[in-house]
């Protein structure tokens, strides 16, 4: 692990953690191929960073990864870096590929309880070494937000994602575009800040800092024995049955239609009912990018409610996966699992 550290104390200290992804690439002038940029020299390579009113250190994963290769092992690695440096730094900027950034950042949001400092994820659609890159704006503004303070306290004290002029609550985001710079959206929760001529924080939307005496709790146990069951007209019994009978399966994110609706055929409801009776937790999340599950609103969701499907309300699929891994890792009984899943733990549910 590469580590550059020469803290000055009078300005906010920001730690950048680079895990991989497009943002850290530069073009080799000879071969024209994209290669990884040495983040230990970030302040020298992007001189604009010197103008920021903060002190920046950086650290890179030894083995840089495309975010398609992300997994819970790396989540724990990111978490441990932040935990080990929590007292030393005032804010954390985590650079990952954008492809799975919503999953990664949503999970990290659950892993930190009583967070009092900003952890902000960003990346880019074009490499930092590209002339038209979106990386510089994303990185510079993210650092500025991570360093922002009001009355001696960080303005942001939650896990966020910054991309293309908008700061979002991380566990509300979804990647919606593979080409445009505006790659993310947060349909069910407005941006926490917007960057234009001024950097405007929507203060009423921010996670309000609780009693500072509450100690940071870091939970690293995640259970990956889960799956997504996305419904589509024509889905067969064979497919649903096979999925629900996966060995060691503990939880399912059931992606339903509209306001949480699903087929009412007996074979479908019976399969779900049997799975629930066998201890599998099934969470209902809508396939729509915006809006909420309202169990029982239509006849087509009444049976789901009756058999004990958990109401995911307006949570995103990414955040539901994260919360499922997290809560399953806490060894809760079914009643407590349902109670915690259906209420907001980190602002992920309205």
- Which residue bears the tokens 């499907």? 309
331-to-46, 78, 246, 334 alpha-carbon distances in Å: 46, 23, 20, 9
Cβ-based nearer residue to ligand ASP, 133 or 311 = 133
Closest CA to 57 of 70, 39, 71: 39
Which residue in 19, 22, 79, 141 is the catalytic one? 22
Residue 31 appears among annotated catalytic residues: no
Q: Rule CB under 6 A: which residues touch ligand ASP? A: 21-22, 66-68, 97-99, 123, 125
The least CB distance from residue 30 to ligand ASP, in Å, is: 24
Cβ-based nearer residue to ligand ASP, 58 or 125 = 125
* Cβ atoms < 10 Å from Cβ of 40: 16
Cβ-based nearer residue to ligand ASP, 165 or 257 = 165
Cβ-based nearer residue to ligand ASP, 21 or 251 = 21
* Cβ atoms < 10 Å from Cβ of 137: 18
The answer to whether 261 touches 301, Cβ cutoff 8 Å, is yes
Label residue 346 left, alpha or beta by phi (over 0 means left) and psi (-120 to 50 means alpha): alpha
The least CB distance from residue 34 to ligand ASP, in Å, is: 11
Q: Which long-range contacts (CB under 8 A, 24 or more apart) does 68-71 make?
A: 68/97, 68/99, 68/100, 70/96, 70/97, 70/100, 70/103, 70/104, 71/224
The least CB distance from residue 55 to ligand ASP, in Å, is: 26
The least CB distance from residue 132 to ligand ASP, in Å, is: 15
Cβ-based nearer residue to ligand ASP, 13 or 96 = 96
- CA dist 81 and 14 (Å) reads 13
| Helix or strand holding residue 146 (H, E) | helix 135-147
The answer to whether 284 touches 260, Cβ cutoff 8 Å, is yes
227-to-105, 173, 176, 247, 254 alpha-carbon distances in Å: 19, 20, 21, 11, 9
The least CB distance from residue 184 to ligand ASP, in Å, is: 11
List the catalytic residues.
Answer: 22
């Amino acid at each position: 692990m590469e580590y550059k550290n020469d803290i000055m104390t009078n300005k906010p200290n920001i730690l950048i953690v680079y895990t991989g992804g497009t943002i850290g690439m530069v073009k080799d002038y000879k071969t024209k191929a994209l290669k990884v940029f040495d983040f230990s020299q970030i302040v020298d390579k992007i001189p604009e960073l010197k103008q920021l009113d903060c002190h920046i250190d950086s650290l890179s994963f030894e083995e840089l990864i495309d975010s398609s290769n992300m997994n819970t092992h790396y989540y724990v690695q990111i978490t441990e870096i932040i935990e080990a440096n929590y007292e030393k730094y005032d804010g954390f900027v985590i650079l990952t590929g954008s492809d799975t950034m919503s999953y990664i950042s949503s999970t990290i949001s659950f892993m930190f309880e009583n967070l009092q400092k900003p952890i902000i994820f960003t990346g880019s659609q074009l490499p930092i070494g590209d002339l038209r890159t979106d990386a510089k704006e994303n990185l510079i503004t993210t650092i500025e937000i991570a360093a922002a303070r009001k009355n001696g306290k960080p303005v942001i004290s939650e896990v966020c994602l910054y991309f293309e002029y908008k700061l979002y609550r991380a566990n509300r985001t979804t990647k919606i575009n593979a080409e445009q710079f505006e790659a993310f959206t947060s349909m069910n929760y407005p941006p926490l800040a917007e960057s234009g001529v001024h950097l405007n924080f929507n203060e009423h939307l921010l996670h309000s800092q609780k009693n500072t005496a509450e100690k940071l709790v870091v939970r690293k146990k995640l259970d990956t024995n889960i799956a997504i069951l996305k419904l589509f007209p024509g889905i067969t019994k064979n497919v649903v049955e096979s999925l629900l009978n996966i060995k060691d399966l503990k939880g399912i994110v059931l992606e339903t239609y509209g306001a949480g609706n699903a087929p009412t055929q007996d074979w479908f409801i019976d399969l779900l009912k049997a799975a629930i009776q066998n201890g599998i937790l099934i969470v209902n999340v809508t396939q729509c990018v915006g809006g909420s599950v309202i169990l029982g609103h239509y006849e087509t969701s009444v049976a789901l409610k009756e058999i004990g499907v958990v109401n995911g309300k307006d949570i995103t699929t990414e955040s539901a996966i994260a919360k499922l891994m997290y809560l399953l890792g806490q060894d809760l009984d079914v009643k407590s699992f349902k109670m915690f899943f259906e209420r907001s733990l980190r602002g992920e549910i309205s």
